[in-house]
A and B are shown apart, each in its own frame.
Chain A
């Protein structure tokens, strides 16, 4: 596989369920990101990991819990979600380390379309 992959592509869950979204990048990057894209709203950055360290958490509710076990994998653990959490969740990766000042292009996965009943 190449690029950034995400599984599952579609997920339907009840408010009491616990599920996890998985992202894997095959680009040799060292930074990974979770975004939320709701209908009619701009993309929202949720979490940023650089060299497996969480460097940004944008006031995301605790029912979303990220995990980055290594530079190629990123998870988003979900529990007791609300219907308003239904959205497309996009993962991205880039080659930038946050210890550097230069920027780098983010490459996105296909997303997981989440529906919370």
Chain B
């Protein structure tokens, strides 16, 4: 069975601080996909990134960066120079290529204070 663990339930930072959201994915599959979604107070789940298990290159998109390490099954997400608009719940999500179901972590509530 798959399992996604986001150990941080809530994080509070001050604007312009860097913040890292942790995610650990457990599965017996050697091939799988990992995602991060953002859910602002409006409710919509916004897709941020998708990574397959064979690609361990770090990725950077503006202030966002992702670090995937297959050896530790971690897929951490860093926001650099955080802004108030980054305040949201962030979900780490796993998907086995053999199945159709997404496995959601419990989410991390990020609050960025001015």
Q: For chain A, which range describes its interface: under 10, 10 to 19, 20 to 34, or 35 or more residues?
A: 20 to 34
Q: Is B42 an interface residue (CB 8 A)?
A: yes
Pairwise interchain contact B37-A108, C-beta atoms closer than 8 A: yes
Contact check: which of B35, B44, B91, B97 meets A105 at CB < 8 Å? Answer: B35
Q: How far is the CA of A56 from the CA of B95 in the complex (A)?
A: 16
Q: Which of A48, A56, A96, A109 contacts B44 (CB under 8 A)? A: A109
Q: A90-B45, A108-B44, A111-B43 are in contact. Are A56 and B100 (CB under 8 A)?
A: yes
Within 8 A of B (CB), among A69-117: 88, 90, 92, 96, 98, 101-103, 105-111, 113
Q: Are B47 and A105 in contact (CB under 8 A)?
A: yes
Of A42, A101, A103, A107, which contacts B47 at CB under 8 A? A107
Residues of B within 8 A of A (CB): 33, 35, 37, 42-47, 50, 91, 95, 97-98, 100-102, 104-107
